[in-house]
Amino acid sequence: MTTVTVSQKSNMPFMTDGAVHAVFPSEIQRSLVDPTISSAVTPEIEIDGVGTGTLSPHLIRITANPGDATNAATRLQAGYPECFWCQPGEAVEITSDSAITELYIIGVDYDTTAPANYTGNAYIISRDDADLSDWQTNMASFAFSSADDVRRVRIEMSAVFNTSYARVKVMGFSYA
């Protein structure tokens, strides 16, 4: 079983030369690993709330190593177990005692009733949507190679822009 913990990291720099640097000592010795979505290197996605329904990404929900997509969707929909939240403009780090090979993320709108479908939307859902298959269809499924032995991931969510969009960046840290 994977033990996952979450920590918020400050973006305060520890040294500057006129420019702002955010470097954490524990990251200096680790190689960065970009995740894939459907075998394509995809370290960043855009949550798109403009489609059949106009939604706003109030936060993202994240789960790591759930075992399969159905378990991932169940955790994201319920908000537990081992489901973590990140608000716009923040970052979350998840660490594990074993390799993180799967990471699922979805943007969640807390104000809008679920639309009939999500045509035109990407990686977002209404929290009121009771259909597990909608959660499974709309979540982003990131993968890391087990050979990279990624035991820590950092997920950053941008501020919401144009009311309905946000960017999400995923970085893995190799322990191989």
pLDDT tens track for 114-134: 888 899 999 999 999 999 999
Spell out a b/e string for 13-25, using b for 16 or more CB atoms within 10 Å of the CB, else e. Answer: eeeeeeeeeeeee
Residue ranges covered by each domain of the chain: 4-174
Q: What are the residues whose beta carbons fall under 8 Å from the beta carbon of 130, sequence distance 6 or more?
A: 114
Contact by Cβ (8 Å): 115, 53: yes
Strand partners, 169: 44, 156
At residue 27, the pLDDT reads 52
At residue 144, the pLDDT reads 98
Range of weakest confidence among 2-16, 55-69, 120-134:
2-16
Is the pLDDT at 19 greater than 80? The verdict is no
How far apart are alpha carbons 103 and 45 in whole angstroms? 13
Range of weakest confidence among 16-25, 70-79, 93-102, 131-140:
16-25
How far apart are alpha carbons 157 and 88 in whole angstroms? 5
Mean pLDDT of 76-96: 95
At residue 105, the pLDDT reads 98
How far apart are alpha carbons 85 and 29 in whole angstroms? 27
Residue whose pair of structure tokens reads 């520890």 in the numeric block = 14
pLDDT tens track for 87-123: 999 999 999 999 999 999 999 999 888 888 899 999 9
Token output for 6: 């979450």
